[in-house]
């Protein structure tokens, strides 16, 4: 009798995970090219407000998008010790929060340097709202699953909300990133089909593809359990 594979979707989830890493790394390379080649560099302590601002997209992508995607995939698509995966998941999200705090600080510091109004755009609203939800999700996860105080029944009841909420917040980070890129591109009034304009468009597409493939890999890995 043919024996059924207990984890039938893991091979497909693993392949999509590889694709997600490719999209994520290429997007990171394009981010560095954009900020270093077209935007004159990154420096939080610079006297140039534009260099201060450049810290914002870099750290928000590296932290709240790339590392949070890695945290989702590390827990759901990697076979290994459950407690070890939980620890990696927790620490990657913590690192994302730390980078996100510095990135948001850079945006406010830039506004101060340019005497601009804070929190005036849809991007800023959804961005700060998403980041607050991200921190809240991490704190709930810490109390519920990392510390040994919650009852097993409570953890089981909360798990579907934790998983679905985490995936929803991840997609919200993608939306925040795409609206931020669109806002920056519009504000700079770049010529159509210029090198920088095309680079930003490709960066946005790759960021979206990274988000989609991360979520697909996590969804397929859940079907394997």
Res 172: pLDDT: 97
The residue to which tokens 């089909």 are assigned = 193
Distances (CA, A) of 146 to 120, 157, 207, 212, 225: 37, 16, 30, 28, 21
pLDDT for res 78: 77
pLDDT tens digits in sequence order for the chain, 225 residues long: 444 444 566 778 888 999 999 999 999 999 999 999 999 999 999 999 999 999 999 999 999 999 999 999 998 877 778 888 899 999 999 999 999 999 999 999 999 999 999 999 999 999 999 999 999 999 999 999 998 888 999 999 999 999 999 999 999 999 999 999 999 999 988 888 899 999 999 999 999 999 999 999 998 876 654
Decide: 2 and 218 in contact? Cβ < 8 Å.
Answer: no
Packed helices 68-76 and 195-223: angle between N→C axes, nearest 10 degrees: 20
Contact (CB, 8 A) for 190 and 196: yes
Of 105, 100, 71, give the one whose Cα is nearest residue 85.
Answer: 71
Concatenate the DSSP letters of all residues of 136-187 into one string.
HHHHHHIIIIISTTS-HHHHHHHHHHHHHHHHHHHHHHHHHHHHHHHHHHHH
Predicted confidence at residue 8, as pLDDT, reads 66
Domain ranges of the chain: 10-223
Indicate the fold that domain 10-223 takes in CATH: 1.20.120
- For 47, residues 6+ apart whose C-beta sits below 8 A from its C-beta are none
Count CB-CB contacts under 10 A for residue 182: 15
CA–CA separation, 224 and 77 (whole Å): 10
């Amino acid at each position: 009798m043919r024996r059924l594979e207990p984890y039938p979707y893991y091979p497909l989830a693993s392949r999509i995970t590889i694709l997600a890493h490719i999209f994520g790394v290429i997007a990171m390379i394009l981010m560095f090219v954009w900020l270093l080649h077209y935007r004159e560099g990154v420096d939080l302590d610079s006297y140039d407000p534009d260099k201060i601002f450049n810290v914002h997209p870099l750290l928000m992508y590296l932290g709240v998008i790339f590392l949070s995607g890695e945290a989702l995939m590390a827990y759901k698509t990697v076979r290994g010790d459950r407690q070890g995966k939980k620890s990696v998941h927790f620490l990657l999200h913590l690192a994302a929060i730390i980078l996100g705090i510095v990135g948001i600080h850079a945006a406010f510091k830039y506004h101060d340097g340019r005497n601009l109004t804070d929190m005036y755009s849809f991007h800023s609203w959804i961005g700060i709202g998403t980041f607050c939800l991200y921190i809240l999700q991490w704190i709930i996860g810490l109390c519920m699953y990392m510390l040994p105080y919650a009852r097993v029944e409570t953890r089981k009841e909360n798990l579907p909300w934790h998983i679905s909420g985490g995936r929803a917040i991840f997609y919200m980070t993608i939306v925040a990133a795409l609206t931020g890129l669109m806002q920056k591109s519009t504000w700079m009034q770049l010529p159509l089909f210029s090198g920088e304009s095309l680079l930003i468009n490709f960066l946005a597409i790759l960021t979206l593809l990274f988000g989609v493939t991360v979520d697909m890999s996590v969804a397929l890995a859940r079907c394997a359990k």
